[in-house]
Structure 1
């Protein structure tokens, strides 16, 4: 049942957003050109997913040609597709000036009295049922549809007391702070890994002197080896889609869309053994898969180690180690020097990004003389990866909990008084998630 069709329970009813909020309008006679600086938020600065504050830039008042006027306490709702559907909105709690301007593609809503907590409206508008209801009422041409102001003002919203609004907002805010903290920890751990990789592949672990090479500094005893010297390089393929027996089997079939993490445990698509025989190829566990054709190369080098045998398509090369160095070490050695490979990308006749086979075969990576040093480097990076994964999984769990609580608190199925949100893993919260 949609939130908007829910029975809110005894003592609760519905009202309209417009009964508690109005669209903020620029005061008559205000001349922004007379202000030395004014906070400005472009659409890309409007957050999505629950963060409050936009990433303001300070602009001279006379440099703002157009925009939407807003004040402290406003909820800024992105009104154009797909910004609205994606949850782009902001809550102006702090403002380094009496007012600010944002993109013209937002609607600023201001509470008409202290009875209304704008945080409550902010979280309510994140509910997927609410987003869906409003999105169905957007107006305009395809690709440029916008939310009319009257649709937001006429939107039904639970009619809660000021105390109840604050309690719900406090609870959801507490949980979202935990989500934000986990995201910060994940990003910090990723920064740590990047720094560790640079240090490990230029200084090693033995405290050696460094030497200059064609790819930069490496430890004195290390040597440069080509990928062709270290690996068997294999090509993949795609079984015919018109043969059902080739697909939906037990074997993961990797394409560019799967290469989003250093380690790959599964793939979105799967093929049968017959599919592999007919049009693909199987790579053993520990193989490094690197994308050599596709738009995924536009920003990064998609490369991963597979943890079990997998098939792969023609846009990927499989680097099967000949045994001296593990796939995890080779993957890291490639990725830390990825900019040299990315510099070799050429667009095909159809504009697709491509790495030539020769570029892969001749790519040089630094290798320690003692293979145990390579294993120790892998162990260090694995430990950091586990920390990244821990924060990612905790954030995912908290995000699911946030969605569940958002619905249950808005419908009155549970009350904040029933929860202990002092810690994200408190028992009552865990019971709600279940």
Structure 2
């Protein structure tokens, strides 16, 4: 036991440093962290507990075979007294596999051998009971749960019944894989009912500790094999009752069950503390990085900017050590790019004001030639609207001023001839959070494209509704797009510069501020066209694109190195777990 304790305590740095960022589904990056090392430590604790390697075996403990004999006698008595139904066909509880060795005073058994399955309760209809839907069952090792109060008459039929001391296991995906399971306690009148997606077991004798059985149901081996045994269609897969009732369970003596439950509870509490400390440290690091990077975008002049950058550069290796910190650095690079702080201005460049005049003249000619319709006059930009100051040669413009805008459309799905051609048709799901155009899952025919809206190569596409509002990309060829996306075909503005501009946090903030709806934000096209874009001289746009691409590539290289180091830490944690169990 001393060696096992050392294995856990001597590798605290490994457990706490093996972390992975959870992937964001919307625009931007997620701050959420998955503590892979601590997850591995929790799994290791449970595996060791169920192999008899976490606590001392005592010679005075009653061998677990005697518990099984007592269970069998109790089952026979209950059947004789007609309090328990006899199995229609003889079920063998003898495990077909013994996945690892166990102490000599333990024995192999199963949930079905030790418990009554799917027990029923007898109660007056007017009594109040606890009702527990699936969301109120936790995934924690404590097996905790919440409850609602209902009359027994309301929930007696059509739901799963249980009582204090019963063990419930979620049988449906993904709840099973997420380890939703509980030992029911504190139920109103000692009785409850709840979701039908539970397997429930009631120990036949008090010497079987339900919290020990809960550990077994939450063990990595049980969950891994159970997942492979699930039946049913995707999204509706369930763990069969036979697996739940017959999978090999290492049964410890009564006294050792209690010692194991207490030890695991103690160690899980330490894991919780370690996770909280690690999370607090990561949070503090993220705040520090964000505060220091903000000083760059808030710099008042070149001297101030140089001082702020020097402060960051001196501690670069300490600051940019996580994927999140690198993503924040990338965002700052984009923001500095469109503030005119990334590359020097050249006084010989044609100013942005002249560029905007040429764009206006070109649009007038397109209207005159009836290529596009005349758009409504956009409001004059006020000083109050400008989110930050620009260099003298730059100019603010509204998105609708610098190109030809459009909103997508989905062809009628009732006409099969519109679909299945060679032309990609995209929705928000085909625009990645990082601004990449992903593989389409639908295509249009030439006829179908006439019923949609066309975006040509280098047109900018942006999601304008839902949780991924603000995601943007550039079309790489002629494609169709749906009504959840707005597009702008830039005139004389470099599309790659425009993509940088709309990928900044400041532009995203303007999208959100103009959007309506809280649960499902949406920005209509007229408001979208009024959003402000900082326009640099065309020559400077080219320099900005080049510099930005170089710096983003460096960031990606650093992130790749960090991810490789993170993978090594995760593998190291896994290796330690493997060595402990071998």
**TM-score relative to the length of structure 1:** 0.51
Distance across 1 between alignment mates of 2:422 and 2:563 = 25
Distance across 1 between alignment mates of 2:497 and 2:246 = 59
Q: Which residue of 2 aligns with 1:224?
A: 396
Distance across 2 between alignment mates of 1:291 and 1:368 = 24
* SS of 1:14 mapped into structure 2: coil
Q: Work out which of the residue numbers 201, 204, 208 in structure 1 matches 2:341.
A: 204
Q: Whose helix proportion is higher, 1 or 2?
A: 2
Q: Deviations over 1:20-52 (max 9, x none)?
A: 7879xxxxxxxxxxxxxxxxxx97985xxxxxx
Q: Which residue of 1 aligns with 2:327?
A: 190
Aligned 8 A contact 2:462 2:487 in 1: yes
Give 1:322 deviation, angstroms. 1.3
For the pair shown, the structure with the greater C-alpha radius of gyration is 2
Q: 1:318 to 1:305 in 2, by over 3 A?
A: same
Distance across 1 between alignment mates of 2:222 and 2:170 = 15
Give 1:251 deviation, angstroms. 0.9
Distance across 2 between alignment mates of 1:78 and 1:384 = 48
Distance across 2 between alignment mates of 1:390 and 1:310 = 32
Distance across 2 between alignment mates of 1:347 and 1:312 = 23
Give 1:220 deviation, angstroms. 2.4
Aligned 8 A contact 1:21 1:153 in 2: yes
Q: 1:133 to 1:310 in 2, by over 3 A?
A: closer
Aligned 8 A contact 1:225 1:366 in 2: yes
Give 1:377 deviation, angstroms. 4.7
* SS of 2:388 mapped into structure 1: strand
Give 1:250 deviation, angstroms. 1.1
Distance across 2 between alignment mates of 1:290 and 1:19 = 59
Q: Work out which of the residue numbers 432, 436, 441 in structure 2 matches 1:260.
A: 432
Distance across 1 between alignment mates of 2:416 and 2:555 = 37
Q: 1:391 to 1:90 in 2, by over 3 A?
A: farther
Give 1:312 deviation, angstroms. 1.0
Distance across 2 between alignment mates of 1:123 and 1:220 = 60
Distance across 2 between alignment mates of 1:384 and 1:213 = 36
Distance across 2 between alignment mates of 1:65 and 1:205 = 54
Aligned 8 A contact 2:337 2:343 in 1: no
The count of residues paired between Structure 1 and Structure 2 equals 291
Unaligned runs of 5+ in 2: 1-94, 101-106, 113-134, 149-166, 182-193, 201-209, 251-320, 346-382, 575-582
Q: 1:391 to 1:250 in 2, by over 3 A?
A: farther
Equivalence map 1:99-138=2 (5 Å): 110=212, 118-125=219-226, 127=227, 129-132=228-231
* SS of 1:216 mapped into structure 2: coil
Q: Which residue of 1 aligns with 2:246?
A: 154
* SS of 2:477 mapped into structure 1: coil
Q: Which residue of 2 aligns with 1:339?
A: 509
- Could you say what the CA RMSD is over the residues aligned between the two structures, in angstroms? 5.3
Q: Work out which of the residue numbers 163, 166, 170 in structure 2 matches 1:79.
A: 170
* SS of 1:343 mapped into structure 2: helix
Aligned 8 A contact 1:290 1:301 in 2: yes
Q: Whose strand proportion is higher, 1 or 2?
A: 1
Q: Deviations over 1:148-183 (max 9, x none)?
A: 8x853434699xxxxxxxxxxxxxxxxxxxxxxxxx
Give 1:264 deviation, angstroms. 0.3
Q: Which residue of 2 aligns with 1:273?
A: 446
**TM-score relative to the length of structure 2:** 0.40
Distance across 2 between alignment mates of 1:121 and 1:88 = 12
Larger deviation, residues 250-259 vs 298-307: 298-307
Distance across 1 between alignment mates of 2:456 and 2:562 = 27
Distance across 2 between alignment mates of 1:241 and 1:392 = 46
Q: 1:301 to 1:19 in 2, by over 3 A?
A: farther
Larger deviation, residues 359-368 vs 198-207: 198-207
- Say if 2:546 is the partner of 1:376: yes
Q: Deviations over 1:181-204 (max 9, x none)?
A: xxx965554343233333433452
